[in-house]
Amino acid sequence: MNNFEFKNPTKIIFGKDTIEQLKNEIPADAKVLLLYGGGSIKKNGIYDQVKTALANVDVNEFGGIPANPEYATLMDALKVIKDENITYLLAVGGGSVIDGTKFLSAAAVFEGDTPWDILTKNVRTEKGMPFGTVLTLPATGSEMNSGAVITREETKEKLAMGGPGLFPVFSILDPQVITSIPERQLANGLTDAFTHVLEQYMTYPIGALLQDRFAESILQTLVEVAPTVLKDPTNYQAASNFMWSCTMALNGLIQKGVPGDWAIHMMGHELTALFGIDHARTLAVITPSHYKYNFEAKKEKLAQYGERVWNITEGSTDDKAYAAIEKTTAFFHELGIDTKLSDYTKDYEGTAEEVAKRFKTRGWKLGERQALMPEDAEKIVKMAY
């Protein structure tokens, strides 16, 4: 096991009817900016619950943060923060609203002229403007981590940022919120969380027995609850297990002391930037090709995953590893998620070359051994056509 440090300061308030507890978490003298997305919270009652809880707090609002939070929109929100002397941010939404809020938390204290530099120059935020979240969509784990991914339509870029100052102060997780989520987004959430675990697990054996079993148990739980979540999101048992699994998949716990890959996400982000494909779907496109291309380097963990998560008992290590990739692809299909780029766009020719070109410009070497070169990414994306 590798050496590690672990600190996660986010307070989680989990369970039925917990949104009302907002009133205990926001400092009484705070000047709050409530941030939300395209308006789902106004239809499903979450907005009303939040407003009731904040009845005695000074609150401004900023709505319209789009899926794949857009830099230009966030710059409008930043102006509100400055003009209104906001001191506290409250994200009410899924990963996009929470990530947008993290960007604002960083940008509000950023001393340079161009906040986009936070993304291009890897500025780590040591202390941002404090913020809390009310999660409306289990998927990204953003509610309990310190990372964010921001999109810039103008340049067709989607880049990551983070820093120890960007953990939410608190996050409220009421699993009942999933009842209004469209099936497509539920499937996305299951796929995203599943892939988050794979990115931190499907590397090479390092003798971290507990981390492996944490990871496998999250995967098993997602597989177990997925059919019920999709069929009946009012099933509280399934909803609560789904929500907590998504948070645990990317709150730092399972990545401690082990190598991480994340190349699937980096290639996937380019597909969202270029074609606007939902984040989770880009992961389902890249995952099978990535594991086939890197089969030799990953086959021990693939076989272990096959045995423990999919109960594959027959054959050699290679046989089990290969079957595990097939099982993963079949799982995505069962969720209603297509796994080829050509399922999403007719204009896929040239994508692999473009991704490789971008990675080369950024000097990226990816994967658990930083050995995945732009030429490899090109081949993987091509395999995913």
**93 contacts which partner out of Zn ion, ligand NZQ, none, CB within 5 to 8 A by kind?**
ligand NZQ
Instruction: Determine phi and psi for 256, rounding to 5 degrees.
Output: -75, 130
- 95 binds ligand NZQ per the rule CB under 6 A: yes
Instruction: Determine phi and psi for 191, rounding to 5 degrees.
Output: -70, -40
- 299 binds ligand NZQ per the rule CB under 6 A: no
Pair 257, 205: CB distance under 8 Å: no
Instruction: Determine phi and psi for 153, rounding to 5 degrees.
Output: -60, -40
State in angstroms the smallest separation of the CB of 177 from ligand NZQ: 5
Pair 129, 108: CB distance under 8 Å: yes
- 53 binds ligand NZQ per the rule CB under 6 A: no
Binding range to ligand NZQ, per CB under 6 A, among 53-61, 93-101, 123-131, 332-340: 93-101
Instruction: Determine phi and psi for 382, rounding to 5 degrees.
Output: -65, -40
State in angstroms the smallest separation of the CB of 192 from Zn ion: 4
- 282 binds ligand NZQ per the rule CB under 6 A: no
Q: Between 185 and 204, how does the x/- string for binding to Zn ion read (CB under 5 A)?
A: -------x------------
Contacts 24+ apart (CB under 8 A), 37-41: 37/63, 37/64, 37/65, 37/66, 37/67, 37/93, 37/94, 37/96, 37/97, 38/63, 38/64, 38/65, 38/66, 38/67, 39/63, 40/136, 40/180, 41/92, 41/93, 41/136
**135 contacts which partner out of Zn ion, ligand NZQ, none, CB within 5 to 8 A by kind?**
none
- 140 binds ligand NZQ per the rule CB under 6 A: yes
Residue 259 one-letter amino acid: P
State in angstroms the smallest separation of the CB of 349 from Zn ion: 26
- 177 binds ligand NZQ per the rule CB under 6 A: yes
**3-state SS class at 9:** coil
- 152 binds ligand NZQ per the rule CB under 6 A: no
**106 contacts which partner out of ligand NZQ, Zn ion, none, CB within 5 to 8 A by kind?**
none
- 278 binds Zn ion per the rule CB under 5 A: no
**Residues forming a β-bridge with 147:** 162
- 378 binds Zn ion per the rule CB under 5 A: no
Q: What is the DSSP string of 143-174?
A: GGSSEEEEEEGGGTEEEEEE-GGGS-SEEEE-
State in angstroms the smallest separation of the CB of 322 from ligand NZQ: 26
Q: Are strands 147-152 and 157-162 parallel, antiparallel or unpaired?
A: antiparallel
- 143 binds Zn ion per the rule CB under 5 A: no
- 39 binds ligand NZQ per the rule CB under 6 A: yes
Nearer to Zn ion, 192 or 261 (CB): 192
Spatial separation of the C-alpha atoms in residues 123 and 286, rounded to whole Å: 28
Pair 258, 1: CB distance under 8 Å: yes
Nearer to ligand NZQ, 141 or 374 (CB): 141
**329 contacts which partner out of ligand NZQ, Zn ion, none, CB within 5 to 8 A by kind?**
none
Residue choice 142, 191, 211, 351 for contact with ligand NZQ (CB under 6 A):
142
Which residues in this chain contact ligand NZQ in the complex, by CB under 6 A?
37-41, 44, 67-68, 93-97, 99, 136-137, 139-142, 145, 147-149, 177, 180-181, 185, 188, 192, 250, 265, 279
Which residues in this chain contact Zn ion in the complex, by CB under 5 A?
192
